[in-house]
Structure 1
Amino acid sequence: MILTSKFLPCRSFPICNLLRNTMEKGTLTPSRIVFLSKTAIDGCIQKRVVQTAGMIGLCIVLFFSVPMAFGQDTGKIKLAAFDYQPFFYQESNEIHGLGVDLGNELFRRLHLETELTLYPLKRALEYMKDGTVDAIMILVKTPERERFLVYSEPLVPAKGYIWSAADRQGGPVNFERLEDLRPYKIGVTVGYSYGGPMDAFLKSINTDAAPQEYLSFKKLMAHRVDIVPATDIIAGSMIKKHPEFHGKFAHSSKPFHEADYYMGIGKKSGLAQMVPLLNKTITEMKAEGFVDKIIKKYTE
């Protein structure tokens, strides 16, 4: 059976573009039709022509349950990024990073167009709440954010360690429980989550906050703070990128947190109805080694 996109005129929604592209490429199998029909737009695609070897004009009706709207109805997925190296950063007026590479590949496989804009994190999350933005490719899952976001399956694994200056007398700071860190001056980054237990602990003490993780590590190198919590990905990428950081830091023997980064999708976005398809594609990317390849690109 061969489907045609000849009678698929709607270009207002990305799901239509996905169906159109897969039709034209000849990759829309019956099972994929069923899968996509569960995530498409109510009434947007109905009574489309099916061509078979012996009959033209057989019509099928795909019934959809949820209307979908995407970032200000531009026909593109509106993605937000924030200054969070190595996941997102701006160079020469272009946004780069691990999260950008993963997002580009994810939506390339889905034949969907995207529009990426860099915002401060707090503003990006506000835009997710009101539906201005559809998704952020890399986010930590928190109870507060779950009120207005849905999440993909885990995308990037990470371990959070306590980092110290390499020349610290007595070696790196180790701990058995978070309370052991209370005597130290801790450098943190404004607006970031370090996981539930660490977030709660940091609220109970005075911290030295910086607008960027890079600045926290500069303070650590200058002994203006004693320790900095950070994931292996973030610290590894900074050490790789900045020669002045080579050999300057050491981390605790055990992590304070093991977690994953997720793709966060606004509940007001039509993209939330496509989570099963997003997860399926993410699973394929991980199984093929693509995600690990991108992580190594930025950290080794």
Structure 2
Amino acid sequence: MCCVAFSFLLAVSAGAARADEMIMATDDWPPFRISEGDTFIGLDLDLMDEVARRTEAELRIAKLPWGRALTEMQGGGVDVMTGLAFRPDRAEYIAYTDTPYFRCTTAFYTIKGQADKIRSYEDLAPYQVGYVLHSAYFERFDKDRSLDKVGVAQEQILIDMLMKRRFGIMIGTDCQVDYLIKRQGFADKIEKAPYNPGNSVDLYLGVSKKSGWAAKLDELNRVIKELVDEGFIDKIAKDYYGTHS
């Protein structure tokens, strides 16, 4: 497992780093990005450590809230982000690699014994639905202004609020939420609803279009595809899941 120290960049908006330096903006999103003191570990860190090695880059980590990280990508204050689902509005300032490095799906979660009530999208209407701000789930949900949505900063907060019955349903990306639920011993307290939108949440490496690395997108495309084709992602996923998710 990779362990990378991070620095709080006090002037990230001053412009991206030199072309041989790669600033990765990130926050906590286990098991992909796990903050441990002044270091990060996780699947994404293992991935980016290898990307940096193959592109001869010096990887630096900027720990930023997700929304702030997107803002810095827009302004060119950081170079790259991982765990990005494709969204057209983000594509205006982020260049996505061609190949996703991981695939998840969207799921709805309730307190155990309540999930059977959610068998269709329409069944969400009577409930408050917790979600993570600035996240992309699936188009119908993302654009739906009729639902009573409660936005929070992180999935961990969603789980805590669901356990306290602060809302009836939460939405999440299964490859991250399932990991948290299992690790925290909530597998017998929280369950998935039968309704599943059936979408694929593909996770990409994204490059700020104002970064010097945008000119090297072809090289990054090649490296990401190599890592997927070689089974590198499957191998590091086993370190965190025990098996590929």
Normalised by the size of structure 2, how large is the TM-score?
A: 0.84
Letter in 2 for 1:282: I
TM-superposed deviation, 1:188: 1.3
| 1:297 matched to 2:242 | no
- Specify which of 187, 195, 199 is matched with residue 130 of structure 2: 187
Q: For the Cα contact (< 8 Å) 1:79–1:136, is it kept in 2?
A: yes
- Specify which of 32, 56, 61 is matched with residue 111 of structure 1: 56
- 1:17 aligns with none
Rounded Cα–Cα distance in structure 2 between residues aligned with 1:151 and 1:173: 38
- 1:164 aligns with 110
More relative contact order, 1 or 2 (CA 8 Å, 6+ apart): 2
Q: For the Cα contact (< 8 Å) 1:77–1:112, is it kept in 2?
A: yes
| 1:222 matched to 2:164 | yes
Q: Between Structure 1 and Structure 2, whose CA radius of gyration is higher?
A: 1
**Matched residues, number:** 226
- 1:84 aligns with 29
- Specify which of 66, 83, 95 is matched with residue 138 of structure 1: 83
Question: Gaps spanning 5+ residues in structure 1: where?
Answer: 1-69
- Root-mean-square deviation (CA, aligned residues, Å) is 2.0
Task: Please list the CA deviations of residues 65-89 of structure 1 after superposition, one character each: whole Å capped at 9, or x if unmatched.
Answer: xxxxx82337411111123233223
- 1:198 aligns with 141
Decide whether aligned partners of structure 1 residues 234 and 173 sit closer, same or farther in structure 2, where only a CA change above 3 A counts.
farther
Q: For the Cα contact (< 8 Å) 1:140–1:195, is it kept in 2?
A: no
Rounded Cα–Cα distance in structure 2 between residues aligned with 1:246 and 1:93: 30
Identical-pair percentage:
30
Decide whether aligned partners of structure 1 residues 83 and 151 sit closer, same or farther in structure 2, where only a CA change above 3 A counts.
same
Letter in 2 for 1:273: A
Rounded Cα–Cα distance in structure 2 between residues aligned with 1:167 and 1:125: 37
- Specify which of 182, 206, 216 is matched with residue 274 of structure 1: 216
Rounded Cα–Cα distance in structure 1 between residues aligned with 2:75 and 2:92: 12
Q: For the Cα contact (< 8 Å) 2:128–2:147, is it kept in 1?
A: no
Normalised by the size of structure 1, how large is the TM-score?
A: 0.69
Rounded Cα–Cα distance in structure 2 between residues aligned with 1:299 and 1:223: 28
Rounded Cα–Cα distance in structure 2 between residues aligned with 1:122 and 1:232: 21
Task: Please list the CA deviations of residues 43-96 of structure 1 after superposition, one character each: whole Å capped at 9, or x if unmatched.
Answer: xxxxxxxxxxxxxxxxxxxxxxxxxxx823374111111232332231121122
Decide whether aligned partners of structure 1 residues 254 and 207 sit closer, same or farther in structure 2, where only a CA change above 3 A counts.
closer
Letter in 2 for 1:159: T
TM-superposed deviation, 1:116: 0.9
Rounded Cα–Cα distance in structure 1 between residues aligned with 2:172 and 2:51: 26
- Specify which of 172, 190, 199 is matched with residue 249 of structure 1: 190
Q: For the Cα contact (< 8 Å) 2:127–2:148, is it kept in 1?
A: no
